[in-house]
Amino acid sequence: MPRGAEAVEAAIRAANERGEAAFIPFIEGADPDPGLTEDLLWTLAEAGAEVIELGFPFSDPLADGPTIQEAAQRALRHRPTIPFFLEMISRMRRAGFEVPVVMMGYLNPFFRLGLRRFAKEARKAGLDGAIIPDLPLEEAGEWLREAKSRKLAAVMLAAPTTPPERLEKIAQASSGFLYYVSITGITGERDRLPDDLALKLDLARELSPVPVAVGFGISKPSQVKNLAPFADAIVVGSAIVKLISRLADDPKRMLREVGDFVRSLKEATVRS
């Protein structure tokens, strides 16, 4: 199996060829504890995830809403490190785990470790790439070079307020996929998504050489179903993280219900 950006894009394109949007669930690493993160990753894979977004907890997650902020605070009590997660991914790859995994984290921990070291060790471990939401295109040169040299996915973000010219530049710089933020503001469940989101996704897909994933605010199978024809992949995070938090004291039930919920979301990605 290929790894890195190639694996991420291939997994999304394969779902599209089956007449589906790819499904990308997000969980916060080490929440509720580091030991359960590995079990959750296996559960997400078995429930049909094409790609998994693994959050690295940070003390000041600017783009995240209360649900993921609280998960990060719970996770930080365990003092997780990037090398810890890379060792976990390496162990899972040796055990036959094949679903592509990208790490979502803020720049400071990656910078402290060293972007070159991170890229080298991520590739060796079998991590497929990273999303660094507080790293704008103008400041991303070093990370983009290191990711390209190791063939890792460097997933960049675009927003509804991004002008078309800039959107195209961000898409051209991205590898694996382009992350299109559905709403302005922070992550979190929403009852309603913008009326013009489908049109904005059409434009993003027209301009982007890599698949376009949409995330932020998506929490229900009905929302996934409505968006599936307009996006190459769909990301759901806060609703899954909230379920994990609610059932943290009952791990067996948590894994079962997370699996069932993710299956319901994945089933909704089929384009009618």
Provide the b/e sequence for 249-272 (b: ≥16 CB within 10 Å). Answer: eebeebbebbbebbbebbebbeee
Active-site annotation holds for 64: yes
- Supply the DSSP symbol for 78: T
Provide the b/e sequence for 6-20 (b: ≥16 CB within 10 Å). Answer: bbbbbbbbebbeeeb
Cα separation, 135 vs 131, whole angstroms: 9
Cα separation, 175 vs 240, whole angstroms: 25
**Taking the alpha carbons of 30, 35, 37, 38 in that order, is the dihedral positive or negative?**
positive
Q: Which of 53, 121, 146, 168 is catalytic?
A: 53
Q: Which of 20, 28, 31, 64 is catalytic?
A: 64
Instruction: Please say whether the beta carbons of 15 and 21 come within 8 A.
Output: yes
DSSP labels for 121-164? Answer: HHHHHT--EEE-TT--GGG-HHHHHHHHHTT-EEE-EE-TT--H
Percent of the chain as helix, strand, coil, to the nearest 5? 50, 15, 35
Catalytic residue IDs:
53, 64
